[in-house]
Structure 1
Amino acid sequence: MAKPTVDYSLYLVTDSGLNHPSRTLLQSVEDSILGGVTLVQLREKDLDTPAFIELARKVHAVTKKHNVPLLINDNLEVALAIDAEGAHVGQDDISCVEARRLLGPNKILGISTGTTEEAQKALADGADYIGIGTCFMTQTKSPKRTLGPIGVRAILEALPAESEMKTVVIGGIKHDNTRRVVTHSAGAHGRIVDGIAVVTGIVGAQDAKVASEQLLSEFKIGHELASKKHQNNIRGTVQDGRASVEDVIKSFPQMLTTLREKSPLTHHISNYVVMNDTANATLALGGSPIMAPSAIEAEDLSKVVSSVVLNIGTLTDSFVDCMYEAGKHANAQSKPVVFDPVGAGATKLREETTRKILNAMHVDIIKGNAGEISTIAKIIGGGDKTETIAMRGVDSMGSGFSNPAAIVQAIARREGAVVAMTGMIDYVSDGFRTVAIENGHAYQGRITGSGCMIASSIASFAAISPNDHFAAAVAGIVALNLAGEHAATRADVHGPGTFRAAFIDEIANLTPQQMLNDARIKTVTV
């Protein structure tokens, strides 16, 4: 008998201990298949072999009825006894080579992997697929570390582009994170995960059929987005429908007018040092801030706010918890998320928090100085080894990148986000359009919170420009940089202290026509 053809899109892994009490395991399996599950793995850690064989025969009868392959977890004796379509083994179980010898060439064989080395060995040892995990924390395992979408992508990129071995991501996969995981799995050579493996999200759901339908839909959407992202990266061209840089600049007056008319509400989880200034800057610009660092109300706020700012300037456990909740709920509500990784490279805690945020949610706009952007580049990986920009506290040190435009463009393409790097010259890219902004004044760098205020400005513009976050980021930076220029020339400004008050005034005084006439923006070709 030839090896069965397998669709890995939605891979159910059973667990009797987590099965919803309203139905039997057999009912869960059948309902999930009716909802779209394409492959089933029977995992029973606590059954002896005879009982496992008996249960496996019953499950196999269900899967065969629907022409869905059944794999047995770890126990090859059971797999052979019921003539299952294959087996899955872990790193601490029988070796992949020995499992293949026992199963023969025509059975499906998968193995769990958590590192690039394990994935490469699985390929060499003849596995048909690998389960990549653990992606997120899960009820079924207590991993020493989680990979997140960034770690999953790194493993995929370690595999040859021409390899036919399939890949499935496992660990904490739910309908609300599936799209991000799959979309961000597309690496430099275009490999995308072939499927998602789900345990609790299906067997623990009240309705396994509906849960499976939702998961499969999210997988397909994510796969389509990942494919489109890769094709755009290959072409290196602007996607259809994106405004040219010239048209973005022409839209500034209307953007500022709309912002002031609508006064969009922005949820700030910000640092205590600048919370008052960022709130006042948002108000002066025409937006409306709410400074709410409680995770408990994040879901409710996500339904009424228009954008979210995540600022890690003063890290506390409660702030971080709120950032995770606010970001994930904003994603669910399709509200733009602006991430300001303040001091990201200064300490291990800040770097790890940045990694967790980028893994936990989709960030629409990343705003940081050269040191913070350097840390982002280090975290997400890919391409040539990037230059490292040192941090002292929250400040970036040194002269910056030798080619800053190339850095922001590369990160933007890899993350599918807009990246804004602030400095003497600011650089913004969505991976296709890249600009240098030459507005601003040195006094902005001599007061606390000017960068945080720019993140708030970007979020306000993103709230009224949901279809073009690049335009929002450019407008947000230009608006505050122009206000900085105007404030510095006032007769009552004698230094950073008087500039700070004047800066807020000039944000409020900024006119739509000034944004159009005074913006100094250059398109950069990388």
Structure 2
Amino acid sequence: MSKPIVDYSLYLVTDSGLNHPSRTLLQSVEDSIRGGVTLVQLREKELDTEAFTALARQVHAVTKKYNVPLLINDNIDVALAIDAEGAHVGQDDITCVEARRLLGPNKILGISTGTPQEAQKALADGADYIGIGTCFMTQTKTPKRTLGPIGVRAILEAIPADHPMRTVVIGGIKHDNTRRTVSHSAGANGRVLDGIAVVTGIVGAVDAKVASEQLLSEFKAGYESASHYFKGENSAARASIEDVLKSFPQLLSTLREKSPLTHHISNYVVMNDTANATLALGGSPIMAPSADEAEDLSKVVSSVVLNIGTLTQSFVECMLAAGKHANAQGKAVVFDPVGAGATKLRETTTSNILNAMHVDIIKGNPGEISTIANLTGCTAESIAMRGVDSLGDGFSNPAAVVQAVAKRENCVVAMTGKVDYVSDGVRTVAINNGHPYQGRITGSGCMIASAIASFAAISPNDHFAAAVAGILALNLAGEHAGARDDVRGPGTFRAAFIDEMANLTPEQMLTEARIKTV
């Protein structure tokens, strides 16, 4: 008998203790298979071998009915007794080598992994697949740490792209985080997760069939997004940089016509300035730092700004909730990692946000972008971090850095400084507009994040265009304000800066831009 061919797309891991009270475990398994589950693992830590074997026979009868493989968790004797299609072992269980010896060459063998080193060992020991986790917090166990998509990505990159070993992610996988987990964890080597392993999201659901259908749909969407990205299939859909520049007058006109609503979770220092800048440019701000209303707001706003300038626990909770719900509603998320790297708290918060949601646009100075490059495992030149102020260009090749981080994070990256750089991983530009006084008032960078979010709200299909337009609009306003006779220094510049945002014309967006492709 040859080894079964396995589809790992939707992998059910059972847990009787979490099974919904309205049905039996056998009903959960059958309903989930009818909903799209492609592989089942029977995990029963509390049963002795005799009871485990009896239950396994019953479950196997169900899975065989639908031609879905059944694996047994951490009990090779049970797997052999019922002739299951394979087994799964943990790092603290029987070794992968010994499990393979007992199972023979024609059974499926998987092993849990939480580090790149464990993945490489599983590869050498002959595992057919690895379960990568724990990705997020979960009810089934209390992990020492969670990986998040960034940690999952590091493990995927430890496996050669052409190796046949398959990969699934486990731990806190739900229908509302599946798509971004799969798309955001794709490795630079082109590896994409082969499946998601789910416990509570299926067995604990009111309707296991519907839950499975939703999870499978979200997995396929995430897989398709990641696969297209690495094949370059989404590059052809991008407008040329020349066409983007030509679109700016229409973008500004559309912004003022539609006045889209942007949800700001911003720092107290600049909240008034960012609200006024949004209004002056033509958008509409709502400053709402409460997690309790994030879901309701996600249905009415057109974009979200997450600004970590003044960190409190409630602010962070609101950012995580707002980002999650914005993702679910398909609304643009702009992340301003103010001072990222200046303290451990800011670094941890930045990492948590990037792991918890898909960020569409990252806006930061060189120090902040350098921190993100390091957090996400992107090879970039390291620079020192001094407080929350911009460090100038900071890199010998800033264009290459923003392009690398954008490609790594599958988003748009805007790095502000004496020269501003924007990239989506394919298109990269340098923006030479702006005035020195912008760097001498508090909040000018935060206002740029707000401007980017306003443009992203009316340019949902091209966040690169939105980021460039947002930076350009405020830089042109800065130039016009700095040239006014009534501006005597940073204080008078601040008021004039807001005025010139309101006075900016669509024609100026086209004729005064100093932007070059790099």
Normalising by structure 1, report the TM-score.
0.97
1:168 counterpart SS class: strand
Alignment of 1:456-471 (within 5 A): 456-471=450-465
* Conserved 8 A contact 1:484-1:503: yes
Q: CA RMSD in A?
A: 1.1
Shift of 1:430: 1.0
Between the aligned partners of 1:493 and 1:470, the Cα distance in structure 2 is 32
CA apart distance, 1:515: 1.1
Q: Is residue 349 from structure 1 mapped to residue 345 from structure 2 by the alignment?
A: yes
Confirm or deny that 1:120 pairs with 2:120: yes
**Contact 1:390 1:396 (C-alpha < 8 Å) held by counterparts:** no
Does 2:135 match 1:135? yes
- Confirm or deny: 8 A CA contact 1:367 1:455 kept in the other structure: yes
Partner secondary structure for residue 111 of structure 1: strand
Task: Give the Cα–Cα distance (whole angstroms) in 1 for the partners of residues 393 and 180 of structure 2.
Answer: 35
Counterpart mapping for 1:28-39 below 5 A: 28-39=28-39
1:432 is displaced (CA, Å) by 1.2
1:395 aligns with 2:389: yes
- State the match for 1:312 in structure 2: 308
Q: Does 1:415 align with 2:409?
A: yes
- What letter corresponds to residue 295 of structure 2 in structure 1? E
CA distance in 2, matches of 1:243, 1:333: 24
Is 1:345–1:390's contact at 8 Å kept on the other side of the alignment?
Answer: no
Equivalent in 472, 481, 486 of residue 478 of structure 1 = 472
1:398 and 1:174 mapped to 2: Cα distance? 42
Residue type at the aligned position of 2:279: L
Aligned pairs for 1:166-205 within 5 A = 166-205=166-205
- Please tell me whether the aligned partners of residues 7 and 39 of structure 1 are also in contact (alpha carbons under 8 angstroms): yes
Q: Give the corresponding residue for 1:48.
A: 48
Q: CA deviation at 1:399?
A: 4.8
Q: How does 1:231-250 map to 2 (within 5 A)?
A: 231-232=231-232, 239-250=235-246
Q: Please state how far the C-alpha of 1:389 moved relative to its aligned partner.
A: 2.1
Q: Which residue, out of 494, 499, 512, partners 1:500?
A: 494
CA deviations over 1:10-59 (Å, ceiling 9, x no partner): 10000001101110000000000111111100000111111111111100
> Where does residue 374 of structure 1 map in the other structure?
370
Question: 1:230 and 1:400 mapped to 2: Cα distance?
Answer: 29
> Deviations for 1:204-241, whole angstroms, at most 9, x for unmatched residues?
11110111111111111111111110011xx8xx7223
Equivalent position of 2:400 in the other structure: 406
Does 2:247 correspond to 1:273? no
> How far, CA to CA, are the matches of 1:230 and 1:411 in structure 2?
15
Which residue, out of 344, 353, 359, partners 2:355? 359
Aligned to 1:71: 71
Aligned AA (2:466): A
Match of 1:430 in 2: 424
Q: Could you tell me which runs of 5 or more consecutive residues in structure 2 were left unpaired when the two chains were aligned.
A: none
Alignment counterpart, residue 328 of structure 2, candidates 317, 321, 332 = 332
Instruction: Report the Cα distance in structure 2 between the residues aligned to 1:7 and 1:49, rounded to whole angstroms.
Output: 28
**Is the 2:259–2:284 Cα contact (8 Å) retained in structure 1?**
yes
**Aligned residue pairs, count:** 518
Q: Distance in 2 between matches of 1:138 and 1:271?
A: 31
Deviations along 1:460-518, whole A, 9 cap, x unmatched? 01111111111111110000000101111111111111111111111111111111111
Shift of 1:412: 1.2
SS of the residue 1:396 aligns to: coil
Percent of aligned pairs sharing the same letter: 84
| Separation in structure 2 between the aligned mates of residue 266 and residue 212 of structure 1, nearest angstrom | 34
Note the alpha carbon deviations across 1:160-191, whole angstroms, 9 max, x for none. 12211111100011111111111123212211
2:280 is aligned to 284
SS at match of 2:488: coil
Structure 1 residue 411, shift from structure 2 partner = 1.2
Return the letter of the residue paired with 1:327. G
Partner of 1:392: helix, strand, or coil?
Answer: coil
2:23 is paired with a residue whose SS is: coil
Please list the CA deviations of residues 97-124 of structure 1 after superposition, one character each: whole Å capped at 9, or x if unmatched: 1111111111111100000010001111
| Unaligned ranges ≥5, structure 1 | none
- Any idea what SS the aligned residue of 1:391 has? coil
Structure 1 residue 396: Cα displacement: 3.5
1:269 and 1:398 map into 2 onto residues whose CA distance is 26
TM superposition score normalised by structure 2:
0.99
- Secondary structure, aligned partner of 1:131: strand
CA contact (8 A) 2:366 2:392 kept: no
